[in-house]
Amino acid sequence: MKPRIGVLTSGGDCPGLNAVLRGVALAADKLNLEVLGFLDGFEGLLPPGNFILLDRRTTSGIMPRGGTIIGTTNRGHFTAKVGAGDKAVVATEVIAEAKRVLKEHRVEALIIVGGDGSMTTALQLQEGGINCIGVPKTIDNDLEATAMTFGFDSAVAAVTDALDRLHTTATSHKRVMVLEVMGRHAGWIALHGGIAGGAHLILIPEIPFDYDKITDAIKMRDTRGSIYSLVVVAEGSRPADGQAVMRPVETGEFRFGGIGSVVAAEIAVRTGKETRCTVLGHLQRGGAPTTLDRILGTRFGVKAVKMIHERQFGSMVSYQNYQVRQVPIADAINRLRLVPVDGEMVQTARDVEISFGD
Ligand code: F6P
């Protein structure tokens, strides 16, 4: 009987997860390990254990597919976080059940692919006696412990494509087009997508905006003869004298979303220009991964298996200085990587006449 390892994907999905799973399956096969893919995030660890075998056959051809072939969830019995800083403790009996299921199925170590909340859970499982390796995942790209995560590049590509499309219709109608994108606490998607897509204003959570400044920037473009404007708004952005916009979801929790239409309405009133809002939403999380995300996902999956082989439990894969390395999971959680407001990216954007509404 081959030794067994497990893998699960947890939290919001993103392009590149299947590249990780394929990387795990193939690297494990090389080490003569069998891989169980637990279904629907940590929920698959509940008795009697819900999983499929991940091998050459079941992972064949999955690289270009978005999402995750083993499913995911950002709620359930193992949820350790609801929002930034809201740490919750996973019940001891739930951890004990997961441990029992893993033992029954002879799983010696578990690879957890997820974001900050999932890593918080991973650490609690590790402390509860389950051998865990973390693989960071967030399209928001806001984990301090890794310079980059897969999924981000695909999300930025979706934003760039949306802006290219909005550009042509904006110029035809001489309109202001507002595009709301993901980014609850960090504006990386808005910043990168906005620069690549030629936006004229980019609003991010790190730089609270002022409606007067937004109006000035649009009117300035008008006086220069550019009578249309593209505005990218990260969902967590807020005016300097106001709050972020949240909306309730089915569970009764509140999620970011809606700032785009608030900004669009204000621009229309203040400039008198025809203004439209598009919310890109989950289009940023779906579809095929970019080349970069396929490669990064593969490297992360292979590295996670190597870390199991080296018994580096309690560690998370990390991308630093073009190398895939590892860091303790404990050092990775609760540390958001925000856009440096005086950094080179923001300055570059300002130098190509992008306004941050400040
Ligand atoms: O963290 C990733 C993210 O895509 C956020 O940018 C967004 O606010 C959130 O997930 C959406 O979550 P859900 O899938 O629950 O709508």
Any ligand 1 atom below 6 A from CB of 256: yes
Using pLDDT thresholds of 50, 70 and 90, give the confidence band for residue 77. Answer: confident
Segment 200-223, tens digit of pLDDT: 999 999 999 999 999 999 999 999
Q: Among 10, 17, 68, 74, name the best residue to mutate to test ligand 1's pocket (greatest count of ligand atoms within 8 A of Cβ).
A: 74
Provide the CATH number for the domain formed by 4-150+289-332 in this structure.
3.40.50.450
- This prediction has a pTM of 0.95
Is residue 140 part of the annotated active site? The answer reads yes
Ligand 1 atom index nearest CA of 183 = 6
155-284 and 4-150+289-332 share a CATH fold? yes
pLDDT in tens, 220-277: 999 999 999 999 999 999 999 999 999 898 888 889 999 999 999 999 999 999 999 9
Exposed / middle / buried, residue 30 (Cβ in 10 Å: 0-12, 13-18, 19+):
exposed
CA of 256 to the centre of ligand 1 (A): 8
Which residue among the candidates 13, 40, 116, 140 is catalytic per the annotation?
140
* Strand pairing report for 201-203 and 229-234: parallel
* 49 has pLDDT over 90: yes
What gap in Å lies between CA 74 and CA 55, rounded to an integer?
A: 26
Per the DSSP assignment, residues forming a β-bridge with 38 are: 51
Q: Is 184 in the pocket of ligand 1 (CB under 6 A)?
A: yes
Cβ atoms of 154 and 280 within 8 Å: the answer is no
> What are the extents of the domains in the chain?
4-150+289-332, 155-284
Indicate the fold that domain 155-284 takes in CATH: Rossmann fold (3.40.50)
